[in-house]
Amino acid sequence: MKLINDTFHRPFPLPSKNWIMRQTWRNLLFIHWPIPSEILRKHIPSSLEIDTFNGSAWLGIIVFLMDGIYPRGLSNLSILPKFQEVNVRTYVKCNGKSGIYFLSLDVCDWASYTIAKRWLRLPYHSSQISIEKKGKNFHFESIRKRNTEITLDGIYTPLEEVYLPNEGTLDHFLTERYCFFSSSNGTHTYCLEIHHQPWKLQKAELEINHNTLFAPLNIDVSEVRPISHYSIGTDSLIWNIKKFK
């Protein structure tokens, strides 16, 4: 079955217009902390409602490899080389539609930092990022170039069991998202639609050695134990960003 036809799991229909690119995401680490909604509220545009699970908002870090970006019609030619990315995100709703809101995105690719930053209206940062696999373990490190005090590094090990998260569970809430929202100076809200197959997840054992990604937000989660998941990855279809409201 073609990816575009595999839609049974989506919470809302596919967009009516054609997708514009395919992206390949590999070796994703999802790290999440529960956090009171009021701590996040000042960082989220007023047009967006903070999405919660059992009364808690969730703050996430996603570490992964962007393995290819393929414009529609060029299925075998990536327009950029592989690069690593680390993003900080939370979960929101807009007019009843659930999605992701990015608080920062660290990339080591020049084109993503300069072009996507303006096109997608997202808070990209240029960083030095590495993800190395040694045996069953992955070591990751990110250092922001313009502020080397903003760093993340740690080690994780995926556990063996692979599963699809059931609807209504926390794992499903944290991972099964098919759009993101962004804002232009808080005056307009934009939405970018995404499509992929359901996430095949594995639990992960995680050790974070250092994390100051939340420092610019004045958020401290040092006393909160995160939960972590791993996915080997997926292909995704991306639509053009559009004004939502």
Q: What percent of the chain has pLDDT over 70?
A: 99
- Give the Cα separation of 157 and 204 in Å (integer): 5
CA-wise closest residue to 230 among 90, 107, 125, 136: 136
1: tokens are 């079955």
Q: pLDDT confidence of 48, banded at 50, 70, 90? A: very high
The amino acid that residue 87 corresponds to is N
- The residues, any chain, with a CB within 8 Å of residue 212's CB and separated by 6 or more, are 149, 150, 151, 152
Q: How many domains does the chain have?
A: 1
Structure confidence at residue 116 (pLDDT): 78
Calpha distance 139→158 (Å, rounded):
12
pTM of the model: 0.95
Give 245's pLDDT tier (boundaries 50, 70, 90): low
State the chain's mean pLDDT as an integer: 93
Provide the residue range defining the domain that includes 166: 3-243
Asked whether 15 and 62 are in contact (CB, 8 A), the reply is no
Could you read off the pLDDT of 132-170 as tens digits, one per residue?
999 999 999 999 999 999 999 999 999 999 999 999 999
76: confidence class by pLDDT, cuts 50, 70, 90:
confident
pLDDT surpasses 60 at 1: no
